[in-house]
A and B are shown apart, each in its own frame.
Chain A
Amino acid sequence: MPQTADDVVLRVRGLTKKYPGVTALDGVDFDLAAGEVHVLFGENGAGKSTLISMLSGAQHSDGGIIEVKGEEVALTSVAAARDLGISAVFQEFSLAPAMTVADNLSMGSEPGSLGLVDRAAVRRIAQARLDQFGFDISPSRLVETLSRAEQQMVEIAKAFRPELNVLILDEPTASLTDHEASRLFSLVEQTKAQGIGVIYITHRMAEIARLADRVTVLRDGKLVATVPGSTEHDELIALMTGRAVEDLYPTLPEPGTEVSLRVHGTTTYDSSVRDATFEVRAGEIVGFAGLMGSGKSSAARACFGLERLASGSITLDGQELAGRNSSRFMKAGIVYLPSDRKKEGLFLNRPMRESVTLPWLRRSTMSDGPILRLGRERAAATSIMTRMKLSPPDPERPAASYSGGNQQKGLLGRALLGDCKVYIFDEPSVGVDVGARVTIYEQIVDLARRGNAVLIVSSELPEILHLCHRAYVFSQGAITAELSKNELTEEAVLRHMMQWDDVDRDQAPKGTNTVEQPHATAISSEETA
């Protein structure tokens, strides 16, 4: 591997970034050699995104230095970074949907003179750029008419400029098909050969094995280690989580036998779930596994009255629940925690107390008739926040000022405060640090121990394997397998997750074609031991 000082295109020393309530990046060192693929590896919230957003000039650091080719630089804006030859392709695209591919490719550096754009040159340059990568897209198409994979290709083509030193790719295969992904890999290799350094973020072990020269592992905003790309998977996982799998997950209690939640033959109106039948027993933790868009999340949302049903029934303790009125489901004893805590979970600009207590304000513990009892409300919020180990457990602080892990704990606290019978958690540990994860898992297992039915929708395979008594695997809107505890292996879950060949493809609803390929996976650390 090239390691001499001349070869280092990018060097970072002691880079630090603070957000309210959390240090997202804490004195991280990192370097990138010319012609190297350097993978950034870590859990959600480990600081990978923060690091690349500062390297690409999208955010400013609170400390530390960045050197490009041996010279200290100030990356004050995306344009400044680009002028130094650093381009990034983020998961969220930076394309103007209502403009053509050609216009997007030359945006910010339009050819022409006297402030006029040379339209012919725009098209010519775009065509040449697309040809260079063998992308079969017409430059005159509007970006909004492209598929997600095609947009990704345009985004990558846009990131390439003649003077490129560093190319940053943030989970570039997340929305690509197998075929498109392999084309991306050869593109990355081509880039390497041109002496460009590539920073590559991925959760996928296979991609690390295939592409990485070196891997830098981050955890909770700190640098853990930089290791060769040939490092064993298990070792990478251990570095990423900082502990063995057994230490992360509490022991599961014996599940009960009585069925609490039963869903029979349920098909949603938009066909995102088709003919799903499943049940959750009291004291049992059941997992929903599947790729993004496989219907696992929609099936869970249906159990909270959030999906319009075309057919099927949902019963709780033998009593049928219908309609699209979540408050009715809540009254019956079901609580649902959304996966997107910022959009659907918290009231960010309000005190955390209000996020925690809002669903339960109708109860006599919180109010007399329509009048709120603020003292009792505050006491309840404080006690649940203390129990969830929120730091600080101050109910009057705005929810936005808490870190992701603390926000998620607050949200879980809301669910616990409800004292319900059925708990549905959609991605309960998304974007939280390991410490918060342990607290969250403990509380979830405790719920089951006390005889509640728990349903977990998760894209994290280890959660399905270690936190659940039983799991249903979803693929293309249908349940493809029900796996009991002793059948729950990584291999089995993955096989059923991707077995779209076994499903009658004619039945597949329109618009799910992006889900058909394994590369649409949202699974992180899918090869976890």
Chain B
Amino acid sequence: MTTIQDAPPTDSTPDGNRSALSHAARIFVRIGVLPLLMLVAIVVFTVMSDNFLTLDNLHSALRQNSYIIIATMAQFIVLLTGGFDLSVGAMTALVSVTTAMSMSSVAESNSPTSAVVVGILTGIAVGLGAGLTNALGVALLKINPFIMTLATASIFAGLALKLTSGVPVYGMPVQFSDSFGFGDIFGIGVSVWIAALVAVALWAFLRYARAGRHIYAVGSSPHAARLSGVSENKVLILAYVAAGGLVAVGSILLTARIETGEANIGSALPLQTIAAAVIGGVSLRGGSGRVLDAVLGAVFIGIIVNGMNLAHITSYYQMMVTGAVLAIAVVADRLRGRLANAVYAGRI
């Protein structure tokens, strides 16, 4: 029988007495359902398609999904506070449009580099502004996040359409797409680097910054946080604004990839990001979840869509599979919670 070095510590039960089943339960409690699903998906798709398990394919799947991964991290921050952000899709559209418009107008009379810089800064500012709008509604006006972000989703989407009349925005310098859309550094896509950078920064922030701890505290129990001297409003504002900023980063990468500013993108993002976070094991009740969970959840969704494409499964089935996986993940997560209790109670 193998021993697990870092399984949750228990009393004096000698390892030899534990059954294989209890080992399995402990591993499951520790890592959750996602690694198992991931393993199953990789095996199935490798069997179904020769092209699936190649570095090229996995890299391109990551690159295509980097904006979803970043948007999932944005969603994750808000989920940690016990809220939702249903406006991530409309924000993506609004940022894409404003980035493209400012970049193309600057590019008419200036160098491409300055146009790219101005465009990116515009996009990030718009994202932060949109996040701030959500923050003010949720924190100061105490509007339920579900309703507030549903409302702003409609507002942002309408604004994006009004700015463009629904027509794609062209005229961005080609250098923008070449570097951020299709560029590589050390053989790995720029957008993948940026997603990784964001993930590491977010991880460090949540673990080592006091403000990061406060986000978990407010999500876990707003009353207890308040009695501990934590300002709930500050935390909520920080979370929604940061989410807006991250969504902007993802949107800029997507814009570079599609080479136009589009008002019609991102409509699936609210559901995709929430699904990815939940599949990764982030709690919808707030205060629980890790960056890695959210990232892996998003990567997993990207991989199954990529695998199904390679296996020539139509998008209709893809939608059904994604939905089924989401439901399975939620059930598995509840099971994990029960098993965790059993482990702590010393019954396993």
Contacts and interface: CB of A to CB of B under 8 A. Distances in A.
Nearest to A327: B229
Contacts, number: 91
B39 to A, nearest CB: 27
A344 B227 contact: yes
B315 interface: no
A401 B228 contact: no
Nearest to B223: A344
Nearest to B344: A401
A404 to B, nearest CB: 14
B213 A361 contact: yes
Given A336-B227, A344-B227, A358-B225, A350 B210 contact: no
B347 interface: yes
Contact of B347 (A18, A362, A367, A398): A18
B221 A359 contact: no
Interface string B186-212: 000000000000000000000111110
Interface stretch (A111-119, A128-136, A146-154, A368-376): A368-376
B230 A358 contact: yes
Interface string B216-242: 110011011111111100000000000
A38 B228 CA distance: 43
Q: Please indicate which of the listed interface residues A326, A344, A347, A398 has the most CB atoms of chain B within 10 Å of its own CB.
A: A347
B165 interface: no
A349 B224 contact: no
A350 B223 contact: no
B221 A343 contact: yes
Interface string B276-293: 000000010101100000
A354 B225 CA distance: 11
A352 to B, nearest CB: 12
A326 B345 contact: no
A338 B226 CA distance: 11
B100 to A, nearest CB: 36
A349 B344 contact: no
Nearest to A346: B224
Contacts of A20: 341-342, 344-345
Q: Do most interface residues of chain A lie in helix, strand or loop, or is the interface mixed?
A: mixed
B14 interface: no
A283 interface: no
Contacts of A19: 345
Contacts of A394: 9
B221 A372 contact: no
A371 B209 contact: yes
Contacts of A348: 220-221
Q: Number of contact residues on B: which range applies? A: 20 to 34
A345 interface: yes
A370 B287 CA distance: 20
Contacts of B230: 327, 358
Contacts of B209: 370-372
Contacts of A304: 227
A367 B210 contact: yes
Interface residues of A, number: 34
A330 interface: yes
B142 to A, nearest CB: 16
Contacts of B227: 304, 306, 326, 336, 338, 344-345, 359
B344 A397 contact: yes
Given A336-B227, A358-B228, A397-B344, A350 B220 contact: yes
A21 interface: yes
Given A19-B345, A21-B345, A347 B221 contact: yes
A350 B220 CA distance: 7
B210 A349 contact: no
Contacts of A475: none
B345 A359 contact: no
Given A347-B216, A350-B216, A350-B217, A355 B224 contact: yes
Contacts of A371: 208-210
A24 B224 CA distance: 26
B344 A372 contact: no
A359 B207 CA distance: 17
Contacts of B210: 361-362, 367, 370-372
B221 A346 contact: yes
A347 B347 contact: no
Contacts of B9: 394
Contacts of A343: 221, 223-224
A345 B223 CA distance: 8
Contacts of B223: 338, 343-344
A330 B229 contact: yes
Contacts of B283: 349
A204 B223 CA distance: 32
A19 B217 CA distance: 24
Contacts of B225: 347, 358
B216 to A, nearest CB: 6
Contact of B220 (A18, A349, A362, A401): A349
Given A327-B231, A361-B213, A372-B213, A347 B287 contact: yes
25 contacts: A20-B345, A326-B226, A326-B227, A330-B229, A343-B221, A343-B223, A344-B221, A344-B223, A344-B224, A345-B224, A345-B227, A346-B221, A348-B220, A349-B288, A350-B220, A350-B288, A354-B213, A355-B224, A358-B230, A359-B227, A359-B228, A370-B210, A370-B211, A371-B208, A401-B344
**A-B complex: 8 closest residue pairs judged by Cβ atoms:** A327-B229, A347-B220, A359-B228, A401-B344, A344-B223, A20-B345, A358-B228, A20-B341
Given A347-B217, A350-B216, 4 more contacts: A21-B344, A344-B224, A374-B208, A401-B341
Interface of B: 9, 207-211, 213, 216-217, 220-221, 223-231, 283, 285, 287-288, 340-342, 344-345, 347
